[in-house]
Amino acid sequence: MKIKDVRISPYLLIPGIFSGIAFLSVIIAYRIITYEQQRGADPFYTLVWVSCATIVATFFCAYLILSVILKPIDKFVEAVKKNPAVLVQQSEDQDQNENIPDEMQQIEKVLSQVTNVLDKVQSQELFPDFVGASKIIRSIFGQILKVAPTDTSVMILGESGTGKELVAKSIYERSPRKNKPFIKMNCVAIPEGLLESELFGHEKGAFTGANARKIGKFEAADGGTIFLDEIGDMPAATQAKLLRVLQEKEFERVGSTQPLRIDVRIIAATNKNLPEMIKTGAFREDLYYRLNVWTIKLPPLRERLEDIPFLIEYFLRKAQREVSVSSQAMRLMMTYAWPGNIRELQNIIQRALVIADEQIEPGHLPPELYGETNHLVMKQTGDENKGLDERLADLEKGMIIESLSRAGGIQVRAAEFLKINQRSLWHRIKKHNIDVSSLKNSK
């Protein structure tokens, strides 16, 4: 006869054990009271002895259970602490005079660090084309994984140079349409008079110069995905036609009255403020709501400073040059606002490589990074309305991230670089919400 394996959850087993102990204690106490009353004796002292025995038994029972549960966790924590891939430090918010560590706090911190490492490994495995491991960019990966398997229209918002096309391609590659066409179209790169023909095609003789029938982008993308970049620059007449494609799944070529039915997923992107354009009548409200079913907002580079060292390393490796970056040059790049975002960073690194030999120094960087046009002073960022406190906070955050990057994420060393105590550094990291784990081994 086969013995059936019964598994009981610890969440039921442990409360059940202590409930059983309490129940037995009540029964024993009742029996003692009844017995002593029958003898005509005072049951108080007997109850005291039995209560003490019950407390001791309960304590050892709890200790035994926790030992069984926590022993594997303790072994795991100790093993993780010895692993150089995970940075585990004693909690810096404890009083300096407190020598006894909080074990649960240590366990929680270790598990958090392990989760961060696994999250970064998963991000690198799933998104090898993306460079960076900051929390804000990992949240973008999560959104891509959620929306990619669906047929939902996606609107990607972000400043120029933030990687909108890369996000669109990642959505396509993880969608059921990945083996179908992926057609890209920049709405601002095509003259207004030719945009409709590029999107929907035209018949022979439809207009001067139309010497043959032309297949448009939508027709070429049938069954697949079309990426409309800079959708905010699309003319009003073309917006109306695009709305019909979204609503009716059909269109006509320019110069034709024959409707063509298509099955296309639309991903749009813009660096414009579409709600403001709707108010001025420059963009159709109904089209906006049709396109903006799922929104992915890409952060500018100045909001993900933790990723700058990784991006610089990537550009240097791509250029196949054995060149390092001095701490002074890195600090300048960490305190700049990057109005051109990743594209601007790439151009600056390429320029520096032309004139640098073995190390990129401040003199190899353009003057806007350290001159009077620095983002903390004037117009480069578009943040000229910021007050002194906000600008100083930006500078402080950049310097802290640069020091943490040089220290490979080790806060003790970063504090030495900044010439402040470790506790002060920890409070500043909390204030600026800096993801220290993403800077681990970034030097």
Helix 388-406, helix 422-432: angle, nearest 10: 120
Range(s) of the domain holding residue 233: 151-299
**Are 364 and 333 a contacting pair, CB within 8 Å?**
no
More confident residue, 247 or 438: 247
Q: What does the alpha-carbon distance between residue 273 and residue 233 come to, in Å, rounded to a whole number?
A: 11
89 pLDDT above the threshold of 70: no
Half-sphere exposure of 245 (CA within 13 A, CB side): 26
Q: What does the alpha-carbon distance between residue 358 and residue 325 come to, in Å, rounded to a whole number?
A: 9
153 pLDDT above the threshold of 80: yes
Residue 113 lies in a domain: no
Domain boundary among 299, 319, 344: 299
- E-strand stretches of 53-126: none
Residue 138 lies in a domain: no
422 pLDDT above the threshold of 70: yes
Residue 87 lies in a domain: no
Q: What does the alpha-carbon distance between residue 48 and residue 141 come to, in Å, rounded to a whole number?
A: 62
Residue 225 lies in a domain: yes
96 pLDDT above the threshold of 50: no
150 pLDDT above the threshold of 80: yes
Does one domain contain both 320 and 209? no
Does one domain contain both 307 and 419? yes
CATH of the domain at 165: 3.40.50.300
Q: Helix/strand/coil (H, E, C) string of 119-176?
A: HHHHHHHHCCCCCCCCHHHHHHHHHHHHHCCCCCCEEEECCCCCCHHHHHHHHHHCCC
Domain boundary among 267, 299, 331: 299
User: How many folded domains does the chain comprise?
Assistant: 3
Q: What does the alpha-carbon distance between residue 198 and residue 248 come to, in Å, rounded to a whole number?
A: 20
- Written as one string, the DSSP assignment of 3-61 is PP-----HHHHHHHHHHHHHHHHHHHHHHHHHHHHHHT---HHHHHHHHHHHHHHHHHH
Does one domain contain both 59 and 157? no
**The predicted structure's pLDDT at residue 87:** 53
Q: What does the alpha-carbon distance between residue 186 and residue 182 come to, in Å, rounded to a whole number?
A: 13
